[in-house]
Amino acid sequence: MDDESPPRRTLQLNDGAHMPLLGLGTWKTCSSEMFQGAVEAAIAAGYRHLDAAYSYRNEVEVGRALRAKMGQGIIRREDMFIVSKLWSTHHAPRDVPLCLSKSLSDLQLEYLDLYLIHFPVSLQRIDDELFPEKDGKLLSTDIDYVDVWKEMEALQASGKVKSIGVSNFNISQLERLLSVAKVPPAVNQVELHPYLVQSELIQFCKSRNIALTAYSPFGSPGRPKELHRGDSDPEKLLEDPVVRGVAVKHRRTPAQVLLRYHVQQDIAVIPKSVKPNHILENTKIFDFSLDEEDMMALRSLNRGWKACDISGLRSHPFYPF
Predicted confidence (pLDDT) per residue in 153-195, tens digit: 999 999 999 999 999 999 999 999 999 999 999 999 999 999 9
Q: Residue 1: inside a domain, yes or no?
A: no
The answer to whether residues 59 and 103 touch, using CB atoms and an 8 Å cutoff, is yes
Q: Residue 5: inside a domain, yes or no?
A: no
Q: What is the mean pLDDT of the chain?
A: 92
Beta strand 18-20 pairing with 10-12: antiparallel
Q: Residue 260: inside a domain, yes or no?
A: yes
Q: Residue 2: inside a domain, yes or no?
A: no
Q: Residue 140: inside a domain, yes or no?
A: yes
Q: Residue 162: in which H helix or E strand, if any? A: strand 161-167
Residue 320 has pLDDT above 50, yes or no: yes
Q: Residue 320: inside a domain, yes or no?
A: no
Q: Residue 318: inside a domain, yes or no?
A: no
The angle formed by the CA atoms of residues 209, 153 and 82, to the nearest 5 degrees, is: 70
Host domain of residue 259: 10-313
Which CATH number fits the domain that encloses residue 144? 3.20.20.100
Number of structural domains the chain divides into: 1
Q: Is 118 annotated as a binding residue?
A: yes
Segment 212-248, tens digit of pLDDT:
999 999 996 655 555 545 555 556 899 999 999 999 9
Alpha-carbon separation of residue 268 from 21, 44, 125, 148, 203 (angstroms): 4, 20, 31, 25, 15
DSSP 286: S
- pTM for this predicted structure: 0.93
State the catalytic residues: 56
Q: Residue 89: inside a domain, yes or no?
A: yes
**Confidence class for position 2, pLDDT limits 50, 70, 90:** very low
Q: How far apart are CA 268 and CA 185, in angstroms?
A: 15
